[in-house]
Structure 1
Amino acid sequence: MGSIGEPNGHVELPDKESSAIQLVIATPDEYRTQQEANSTEWRGALSLEAYLRREVHLANTSLTEDGGLTCWALVYQPSADRKRQVLCGCETIRKKALVSQNGKVEETTAHGVGSVFCPPAHRGKGYAGRMMADLGKRLQSWQAEESRRVLFSVLYSDIGKQFYARNGWQSFPSSHVALPPSTDTKQDLPSVSSLKSTDLAELCAIDEKLIHARLLKPNSKRCEVALVPDTSAIRWHHAREEFVIKELFNRDPDVKGAVTGEVGSRVWCYWTRVYTNPQEEAPNTLHILRLVVEDESFSDFSPAAAEQGSSHKATRTVKAIASLFAAAQQEATKWDMKEVQIWNPTSTTLAAAQMLESTAVVQHRENESIASLRWYGEGSWEDVDWICNEKYGWC
């Protein structure tokens, strides 16, 4: 990404408050330049060329096509006869969401912010803050439909909690429990069946109905919001892993999750495999994208405390979830994953994990993948509960 220069070679960067700076939709060339610049941060185990192809591939999924993906750039153009210069950039993905407030459930549009990147030569000037401040205002009406308001936007910070909070995105619970890979078949647990891509549409539709029913339950003092884990959201993650695994190993990750139980009382989960750069400390991880209990009477949704779980009664639901996690551990072994991660576990989820690994505990993230939300609706963000805050929402 080019710096802003004068004919004599002197580099002159504008003040962040300059009126010649504006947030725009990036041109294809500007977007490509941003991708090349940020590839060192996010291409993982892929080459630059493969990373660029993956981004094109992801831009054409059902979630991101037809305007679902917007590429933004903060640009500087001091005069009409000067070519504008990109200072930093980001992306947003339009997402389907539900909001429960004042006894009503409203279908709404939300935006997920990702790929926030400022090249090293432009850092320390406040440009990223200016971009996020402008973007936060822009997203409140961006792609709003006549029947659907934009009531919130989300992002997942890898630079802690403070920067984005200063710019309007407040941090929400960001915890997980991790399990090691395993080949133990756990004969004392319920049997499970593998989920394939063809199973997703039916199960995602049932899940959306369950979330809607949960949101209908009266909660007069709190507003509840959820990103909808529909097939478009889940398949975006699967498209990402499929491309990477095909590129690295020429294999097809056909198993997308696991299910156990009879229709009407099933428990299932979807997962995705994430390969990291071998030079980084972060391990290859099998992430549970979404865990679903098909039982409208199930009510354990509050986040588990670090010390909970081991004394939780081994109920049918606990055992069912444990059987899914055991299947995930076996899958992790097959694909050289170093751990299985489940975000924001409940006490039931933690108890299931501890059936397999007694030392499993809730880990609270302070720096990476901090789930953050900006609220545009009535009232304060402090009155908002983000439910189903799981890995499928990440972008």
Structure 2
Amino acid sequence: MVSALTNLPDGKCPTLALVHPTPEEKLAQFRANGVEWRGALSLETYLRREEVLANQEQTKEGGITYWALVDTAAEKRVVLCACESYRKKALVARNGKVEETISHGIGSVFCPPAMRGKGYAQRMMQEVGKALRTWQTGDQESLFSVLYSDIGKGFYSRLGWEPFNSAHIAVPARTAKKLPTDSLPTARPLYEKDLAELCRIDEALIRKSLGSRSAKSKTAVALIPDINTIQWHHAREDFVGNVLHGKAPEIKGAIVGSEEGKRVWCYWTRMWYNNDPNASESNTLHILRLVIEEQGGSSWEGHGAQNPSNGSSNTSKHTAAVAALLLVAQEEARKWKMAELQAWNPNSAMVFAAQMLDPEAEVVNRDKESIASLKWNLPHEHPVADSIDWIGCEKYGWC
């Protein structure tokens, strides 16, 4: 159908419009982008996964919205470019108060190969940016939206989604160094039944932490890592685990300590990209969220302009606890055929703990893939990344 099209308009054509695709158009778009994005799955299995993910608590009943750019003057409507947006609960600290807002995460931006080079992605994102300001927000305007760019920092920045620092530290699933575990605290595994209460506590800690920052001149924002958000990631993991290994992983994270207010915990998710179930290359266990209760829950303060590895290992008394968590994660990575485990925008405790497991581990500042980008919808004079702190910019916010 696409190859037969002639005289396609360019991206500035006034008859182009943003619409919600029909079920048939949406399926055709998934078939097109699945060729590039299906990872370890067959195309048909990828389509089933997307259907499952669209019916989670996070996404059902309008939690996910599909967008498409079409030419309203065309004799036969054809999707020129498409994407999705995910409704997300968020907090903003500014002007002495903390306010809750609806934010949106944009994902699956895809222009079929035959449609590229005509400015359709740029036009669609301009229209999506405008639409999301009031989409599903009731009587208020959404303050910001986010996306994670896999095409570098330039394209989306020109459209308003400015890049924030996007760093990570990685540890191989198998390392030669054995830590003396008797010097570390005990880490217990976390299961699905444990997560809802911990997410509730985490949200309360974030609200409290932002409250203490609200009088500062710099605005701070945070996507809320609630249970629906975490379970969406785990639904993705469970689906692929069942396809590749005939079962879903049961251990979803780990925790150190039992006294409320002094615990340290993290959640993770496994992402398979290698379609050989017995191979680990390219597969990654991602730390979704690290919580240190004594630090107000914030595992990473600010947008990461400072390299957290520039301090002394004595500056973080939580390093041993995080190292204990990473040992559990490392064992899970080995068990589920992961090549490495990775933590986004690590704080000093995470960096030092990772280097305990692997002395060669370094903080990597990404400049091409998974670039955390934020569009601030209110007027501003300075670059957004200089005037706003994105608190907890970890993997849980990815979509």
**TM-score interval w.r.t. the shorter chain?**
over 0.9
Written as runs of structure 1 = structure 2, the 5 A alignment for 1:262-273 is 262=258, 263-273=260-270
Say if 1:306 and 1:361, in contact at 8 Å, map to a contact too: no
Written as runs of structure 1 = structure 2, the 5 A alignment for 1:106-185 is 106-146=99-139, 149-182=141-174, 184=178
CA-CA distance at 1:371 after TM superposition: 0.4
Write the distance in 2 (CA, Å) between the matches of 1:326 and 1:141.
44
The structure 1 residue matched to 2:253, chosen from 246, 253, 257, is 257
The structure 2 residue matched to 1:248, chosen from 244, 249, 264, is 244
Letter matched to residue 289 of structure 2: R
The match for 1:69 is 64
CA-CA distance at 1:149 after TM superposition: 3.6
Q: Which runs of 5+ in 1 are unaligned?
A: 6-10
CA-CA distance at 1:118 after TM superposition: 0.4
Letter matched to residue 215 of structure 1: L
Give the count of matched residue pairs. Answer: 386
Q: Secondary structure at the match of 2:328?
A: helix
Write the distance in 2 (CA, Å) between the matches of 1:136 and 1:152.
9
Instruction: Give the percent of matched residue pairs that are identical in Structure 1 and Structure 2.
Output: 52
CA-CA distance at 1:315 after TM superposition: 4.8
The match for 1:8 is none
Q: Does 1:55 align with 2:57?
A: no
Q: Which runs of 5+ in 2 are unaligned?
A: none
- CA-to-partner distance for each residue in 1:155-194, whole Å, 9 max, x for gaps? 0000000000011100001000000114857332111111
Write the distance in 1 (CA, Å) between the matches of 2:11 and 2:308.
42
Q: Does 1:345 align with 2:346?
A: yes
CA-CA distance at 1:42 after TM superposition: 1.1
Letter matched to residue 217 of structure 1: S
Bigger Cα displacement from structure 2, 299-308 vs 183-192: 299-308
The match for 2:2 is 2
Write the distance in 2 (CA, Å) between the matches of 1:314 and 1:86.
54
The match for 2:292 is 293
Q: Secondary structure at the match of 2:80?
A: strand
Say if 1:308 and 1:350, in contact at 8 Å, map to a contact too: no
Letter matched to residue 142 of structure 1: W
The match for 2:95 is 102
Computed over aligned residues only, the root mean square deviation of the Cα atoms, in angstroms, reads: 2.0
The match for 1:231 is 227
Say if 1:99 and 1:108, in contact at 8 Å, map to a contact too: yes
Write the distance in 1 (CA, Å) between the matches of 2:349 and 2:50.
37
